[in-house]
Every structure is written in structure tokens, then in C-alpha cells.
Amino acid sequence: MPLRLLLVLAMTAALTQPVTLTAEERALTAFIDGDNDRALALLERVVNINSGTMNFAGVRAVGAAFRPEFDALGFKTEWVDGTPFGRAGHLVADHPGPGPRMLLIGHLDTVFEADSPFQKFERVSAIATKGPGITDMKGGNVVMLQALKALQSVGLLKSMNIVVVMTGDEESAGRPLATSRAALVKAAQGAAVAIGFEDGDGNPATAVIARRGTTNWELRVKGKPAHSSQIFNTENGFGAVFEAARILNAFREKLAGQPHLTFNPGVVLGGTSVEFDAPTSKGTGFGKGNVIAEHTVVAGDVRALSLEQFAAAKKMMQDIVAQSLPQTSATLTFDDGYPPLAPTPGNERLLTLYNRASLDVGAGEVVAVDPDKAGAADVSFIAGQARMILDGVGLMGAGGHTVNETADLRTLPSMTKRMAVLLARLQRDGAK
């Protein structure tokens, strides 16, 4: 066998074989195994509290369930009132210390509102449990908390510099975004590390180091109303529906196929008269087959991996809109949502450290998930703030955002062990 191939095989084996944990790290993992039943009990309790984003009382109740847990660990906790941005609010827990500043991110709300039929924690099998928000992301919150408890059990937490932000409106962010994410951005200042406990793509073999951002857009088109028999002539032109169709098709021709960029028109209304309510994405339209449509409204989103990609897409879309068919006009407006989290060397470094911790606790290799499979999340708001960012390291499962949302309970201790060892090593080595 060639010497080069032998060296490659030897290096691969070294990276994939677990090393001996330190006595302190073995104590961390032993605590997590021993406390797993208590973690499951907490998970069941918070899953059984409905906390749909607009159920403000429920979101506050989940925050109230987690708050004393952080108080008991020596954190200074605060509830940030959400009235200024039209939501319940956020839980912030701060634990100053001499170590590198580390920001841990969770959220309290789910997509399942109080009128949803999906309300309760339900054991499906010995290893699986269904429940609203069990993976997205009440399970991730429990993983975070249990890792901190493990660190306290061996005396490490007392010297650590950690701030936790659990937002109450991740699934439907309050507006303005600058206000609803102010507490998160403030907490990220000076952070060496930021870690989000979302469930990523639900696969424990992946983690997130890049996420696409989202921007909503609205297209409004006006045509000249007239009898349908006179459409396409110089006096009456093409009408609002044909102009909207031209624009959408040109968007497709120019934007489709670019790496990491997607464009989607989600709602279209056209006719003689149109009423559209953007916050609820609902509307009505009236028209007749023998009348040229005067109005068309289209609403959708754009997703991109970098601010530069967003800027280029917006310019291209505006240029297309400006090329109006005869007797029509159109305006295109954007409402920026979640920013992108672009991949960086720092994020890649943190994933390498996380992968090493996972291998060492026997939980397997972890690689970066395809950013096209990672939706928007709160961690993106602090891109550029922390030197190293990682997400998608919470409780794993399947069926997120559906009534089949199910957690793989085997991943509760394994994901927690990974995180506890990672945090301990970041503290020991200075998050280098």
C-alpha cells in the first residue's frame, strides 16, 4: 500500500476514534446520564404548556418554568417585556465570569397556537415522543440547561461567562425587528462564541454553520381597465394580470438556479379590484372575464446566503419591474426579515471543536448541514458579532412544524454530553 494512502488512513482513524475523556469530562457525562429522567420530566412539563407565539400568557408561562432553573444555577435572570414589539417578551439569564463570553440561544414559542389540536406530550415508543415544539425547540432549551447543570456539578460553571437568551417570538418575530431583537444583539456584544439550540435538519450527524436569510416582498401592478375585446391595443395595453405574469416569469428566468438563492411568489390576487392584508396574507379579488384587470398584488419571499446576494437579487428584481408593458405600472417593495448567517472560518472552527467533543463522548461524527436545508433562525441576527457561531445542536427528531413533531429521546443525553464537553473545553482553552 502506498505510504501516502497509509498516512491518510492513519489520520482518518485518529479523527474518528474517541480519545480518553478527562476525569472532569467523564464526570460531566455521568451526571447527564444520571439526571436524564429529571430532564425528561422538565421537557414534558414545558411541552404541555401551549406557547404559540401569539399566546402571550403561554409564552410567559414557559419562561416562568425555565427561569427558576437558571436562578438555581446562579444566573441573574430578567424578563424583557415584549409590548414595544407586539409579542410576549424574552427570557435573559446572565452569568458573568472570567472566562470567554459565550452566548447560548433558545426560544420559548412554537408554531402551535392555543386553538391547535396538537397540544400534549405523548410517548410513541420507548425512544420517541410527540409534542408541540418538542424539538423546535423546547427540547433544545432542555439540552442547553442540562449541559449547564452538568458544568455546575463539577464546579466549572462558577468561573464561566455565559449569557442565555430565550426569545418569545422566534416563530413569528415582532416588529420592528430592531426592537424585537435588541436584547439578543446586546447579549452578543463581546461574545467569543454563540450557540443556537435549534434542531437543524433533525439529524444528529449535522450541525449548522450557515443559514440563509429571508426577505419578504410585495408587488403591486396597475393596468388600464377596459373591455376585454380591446386588450393588447395601443390605447388599453396588456392589463395588470399579464404585466404581473411578465414580471414573475422574468424573475424566474433571471433568479432561478443561482446557488443558495430561492424566490417564491406565495399569494397572487388580480382583477378589477383587489384587497390584500399583508400581516395575515389574506385578501379578496373581484373581476370579470370581459374586463381587463386593473390591479394585481403578489406577495412572496426571497432567501439568500449573504447580504451581497440579497442586494444583487433585489436590484435585478427592481430592474425587471421597471420594464413595464404598455399602459401598466408596477411597484416592488421589500420587508427585510431574518438576515443570513454566512459561513466563516470561525464557524467552521467551532464545528471542528464540536465534532471532536461528539467523537470523544461516542456520539459520532458531525458535519455541516447544507445551508439550503437550514431555515432562518435567531442566531443569524448576531452574525458578525461573535467570532464563532454554531446552531442546530438541540434535541433531534422529525416532523417539525407539523402535528407529527417527534423527538428521538436517545439524543437528549447524547446531544447534552457533546455540548457540556464542548463548553468545558472552550472555557479551558479560551475559545481559541
Domain boundaries, the chain: 13-211+340-429, 213-336
**How far is residue 378's CA from residue 337's CA, in Å, rounded to a whole number?**
11
Q: At 208, which amino acid appears? A: V
**How far is residue 145's CA from residue 394's CA, in Å, rounded to a whole number?**
11
Phi, psi of 251 (to 5 degrees): -55, -45
Q: Which long-range contacts (CB under 8 A, 24 or more apart) does 307-312 make?
A: 307/213, 307/339, 307/340, 307/342, 309/258, 309/260, 309/261, 309/340, 310/213, 310/215, 310/340
Q: The domain 213-336: what is its CATH number?
A: 3.30.70.360
Asked whether 18 and 360 are in contact (CB, 8 A), the reply is yes
The CATH number, out of the four listed (3.50.30.10, 3.40.630.10, 3.30.1950.10, 3.20.20.10), of the domain defined by the range 13-211+340-429: 3.40.630.10
pLDDT tens string, the chain, 432 residues long: the values are 443 443 334 444 444 455 689 999 999 999 999 999 999 999 999 999 999 999 999 999 999 999 999 999 999 999 999 999 999 999 999 999 999 999 999 999 999 999 999 999 999 999 999 999 999 999 999 999 999 999 999 999 999 999 999 999 999 999 999 999 999 999 999 999 999 999 999 999 999 999 999 999 999 999 999 999 999 999 999 999 999 999 999 999 999 999 999 999 999 999 999 999 987 789 999 999 999 999 999 999 999 999 999 999 999 999 999 999 999 999 999 998 899 999 999 999 999 999 999 999 999 999 999 999 877 899 999 998 999 999 999 999 999 999 999 999 999 999 999 999 999 999 999 877
The DSSP code sequence of 74-103 is T-EEEEEE-GGGTS-EEEEEEE--SS-EEE
**How far is residue 132's CA from residue 61's CA, in Å, rounded to a whole number?**
15
Asked whether 303 and 339 are in contact (CB, 8 A), the reply is no
**How far is residue 318's CA from residue 314's CA, in Å, rounded to a whole number?**
6
Q: Angle formed by the axes of helices 345-360 and 411-429, to 10°?
A: 120
